[in-house]
Structure 1
Amino acid sequence: MKPRMVLMFIIFISVYLLLNFYIGWHGAFLLRYSGAGVPQGVYWIVFFLIAFSYLIGRARLLPGPAGRLFKVIGSYYFAVLEFSVLLLPLADLAAWLLHLGGVEASVYIPAIGYTVTAVMIVLLLWGSWNAWSPVVRTYPIDIRKKPGAARTLKIAVASDIHLGNLVGRRHLHRLVRRINAMEPDLILFPGDVIDDVIEPFIRNRMGEVMQQLKSRLGIYAVLGNHEYYGGHIEEYIRQMDTIGVRVLRDETVTLPGTLAIAGRKDKTSEAAGGGGRMSTEALLADLDKTLPIVLMDHQPYGFQQAAEAGADILLSGHTHRGQFAPNHFITRRLFELDWGYMRKGNLHVAVSSGFGTWGPPIRLASRSEIIQLVVTFTD
């Protein structure tokens, strides 16, 4: 590893340890005042096992189901960690004010501790419902092109499904039911269909579920950053091809008399070797511009370049809209559009918050969603 990477890793682990000690200390304090009788040594061992369970599972230090269980526990703990960092300073402030007011510690510490725990549980339950209860968002789009006899086209879009150990067949069935109910002309997946490794997708036979998707003009996808992280791109593409999903890697497809579909490699490819990726201009250069052009690019960058290259629709995901509050304030500043719809010249941009989740299946200030584009062609 390069010295800079080693330094960044040391800083990350140090900060992570300090945050978890801060959280764990509050838990130990509450246990002592509640009279639970849990030995401190046992408490801290269990606590840090939970705090590092995602890393343990991800590093495959435990085999099979045990490793997967640790990864699931660790995923949920990420939400607990962030909510704790937000709630515990407020709890400390309340405790300090009550102490100044002469209230006994044996009274205010359990009261504040149980209140924080209750708020945490409510946030987790609410966020879980948002994650597992998808909505369909419809964007009507007018394009001043008339490629053929069709006056309208219905396109179903689902990004960031993140199929893996947490998002599995049950949620995938929801996707299939919702999309098929739309009776779409075309289905598009703008990246991160799987969550890193492809093993859970194969082991749980998720391809059998995806194969039930129906559309008149086919199903197309592009790679997201997580397909690159998993390192199984060729196997992933083979699996998708088997079930009738074509993955576009800096490729275009023209549906005669209807539209053209272009799919870029993910931005991650620029640092992953293998020649990087084509520019939007080069990718669209040879397409018939009299046809509507739909461009998929997983990460929502380069809107102006897409507009200048002649794209009519740009579809992205990646941001999850922060997935849970207050992260959406960060994504709003990082991207020109982190979620929703915008018009940029003649270009229509739609950025999805995603159908699945990364890490904990928790969403606050965002929802699991499918986008339905109702495209109307005008002369």
Structure 2
Amino acid sequence: MKNRMISIIFGFLLLYVAITLYIGWNGRVFWNTVFGPSTGWAFTTVWALLAYGYLAAMLLRRILPYPVYSAVKLIGTYGLGICMYALLSLPIADVAVALLRWSGMETSAAVSIVGWIVVLLIALVLAIGSRNAWSPVVRRYDIRIDKEAGPRKELRIAVASDLHLGTTIGKPHLARLVERVQALQPDLVLLPGDVLDDSIEPFVRERMGEVLGRLSAPLGVYASLGNHEYIGGHIDEYVERMKAIGIRVLLDEVVLVEDSFYVAGRKDAAVARVDKSGRLSVAELLKGTDPVVPVVLLDHQPRDFGTAAAAGADLMLSGHTHRGQLMPGHLITRRMFELDWGYLRKEAMHVIVSSGFGFWGPPIRIGSRSEVLDIRVTFGREG
């Protein structure tokens, strides 16, 4: 199993290097045509930083000074986005250059015209994608749970998944989250996983807890774990730091809120990588709950809806997919998950999957938006 994983990683790296060399070759030809071959070293330097900055930062994280690590990683994340859209556009551009040359146009003119078009298109993608990433929207869902919740007839829940707090997403974007959530005046705030991007170090070093701790609601603020908390490790420290700012992280736990409804939080499926005991099944998690009391389930990865519905969950909240984040990534997530974004009714259970408040890698979203969910729940049978 270990050898297979090493082979997969090695194969992926070889493919990535091949892709970056292809893009770099095209870029160098365009650069030399426009600016002259004597300055080609400048392009090579910049492209190497863009193409390999993220990998270099992650591999050298322990030895690089924190400001250098953060800067190189940020540059590299933009490079990942540029790589993706350059790869999609360059084969078409190469064909266009060949056709223009065939029609009689000089090679330098063809390369220059097509190259500038590609550069402008990628710049436009970066501009639109940055807006979509840094300007979150609020999406509202109105649902009815056919159970009584004690004296409570309605519940307003603010949900934000996939914050990915780290070297790219810090206090400014986190402040936007607090502003959007508090403006909703929710009864309850839920964070279904991937609050951290990977390492807990930026969260601690940048004192992000001071901002995240401003989230408040009369019925509390609860979170569950995502796969990125396990990637970064330090789960115990993370849970304690969240507790210190008034946010309870549910580790295969169920809480009865106001004697009206349950909030259940599952460990993420990624726990199996670090703990052979894994996590509880939904049935085991909800075993001691009263079946007539509504259950809100936090499960980071949107899987096994039927199992959760059969176990008695009434509302399942997930994230993880980012709705592909970078189009056409949504075509992949749509095939991978029964629901990769939005709303689904699974038997008696409501499922809502968020595209996330933050993002992974490049601070770019194409075909998706950063979002906060405003969920209005009505309890009891209609009529």
- Does TM, scored on the shorter chain, surpass 0.5? yes
Equivalent residue runs for 1:291-306 within 5 Å = 291-306=293-308
The answer on 1:333 being equivalent to 2:329 is no
Q: Secondary structure at the match of 2:71?
A: helix
Q: Which residue in the other structure is 1:251 paired with?
A: 253
Q: Which residue in the other structure is 1:357 paired with?
A: 359
Q: Please report the RMSD computed on the Cα atoms of aligned residues, expressed in angstroms.
A: 1.3
Q: Which residue in the other structure is 1:320 paired with?
A: 322
Which amino acid in 1 is paired with 2:304? G
Which amino acid in 1 is paired with 2:84? E
The structure-2 alpha-carbon separation of the partners of 1:173 and 1:89, relative to structure 1 and needing over 3 Å to count, comes to same
The answer on 1:78 being equivalent to 2:80 is yes
Q: Which residue in the other structure is 1:278 paired with?
A: 280
Equivalent residue runs for 1:359-378 within 5 Å = 359-378=361-380
Question: Paired residues, what number?
Answer: 379
Q: Which residue in the other structure is 1:44 paired with?
A: 44
Quote the offset at 1:62 in angstroms: 2.2
Picking from 153, 160, 163, the partner of 1:161 is 163
Picking from 175, 179, 190, the partner of 1:177 is 179
Aligned equivalents of 1:25 and 1:370: distance in 2? Answer: 41
Which amino acid in 2 is paired with 1:26? N
Quote the offset at 1:38 in angstroms: 4.1
Aligned equivalents of 1:40 and 1:212: distance in 2? Answer: 50
Q: Which residue in the other structure is 1:17 paired with?
A: 17
Q: Which residue in the other structure is 1:55 paired with?
A: 55
Quote the offset at 1:10 in angstroms: 2.3
Q: Secondary structure at the match of 2:214?
A: coil
Quote the offset at 1:45 in angstroms: 4.2
Equivalent residue runs for 1:94-105 within 5 Å = 94-105=96-107
Unaligned runs of 5+ in 2: none
8 Å Cα contact 2:221-2:248 kept in structure 1: yes
8 Å Cα contact 1:31-1:38 kept in structure 2: no
Unaligned runs of 5+ in 1: none
Aligned equivalents of 1:228 and 1:56: distance in 2? Answer: 21
Equivalent residue runs for 1:81-160 within 5 Å = 81-160=83-162
Quote the offset at 1:68 in angstroms: 1.3
8 Å Cα contact 2:49-2:75 kept in structure 1: no
Which amino acid in 1 is paired with 2:52? F
Aligned equivalents of 1:112 and 1:330: distance in 2? Answer: 29
Which is worse superposed, 250-259 or 121-130? 250-259
Picking from 201, 208, 226, the partner of 2:203 is 201
Aligned equivalents of 1:210 and 1:7: distance in 2? Answer: 40
Q: Secondary structure at the match of 2:338?
A: coil
Aligned equivalents of 1:3 and 1:191: distance in 2? Answer: 30
Quote the offset at 1:37 in angstroms: 4.5
8 Å Cα contact 2:133-2:358 kept in structure 1: yes
TM-score (norm 2): 0.96
8 Å Cα contact 2:358-2:370 kept in structure 1: yes
8 Å Cα contact 1:56-1:62 kept in structure 2: no
Quote the offset at 1:89 in angstroms: 0.8
Aligned equivalents of 2:136 and 2:243: distance in 1? Answer: 26
8 Å Cα contact 2:309-2:346 kept in structure 1: yes
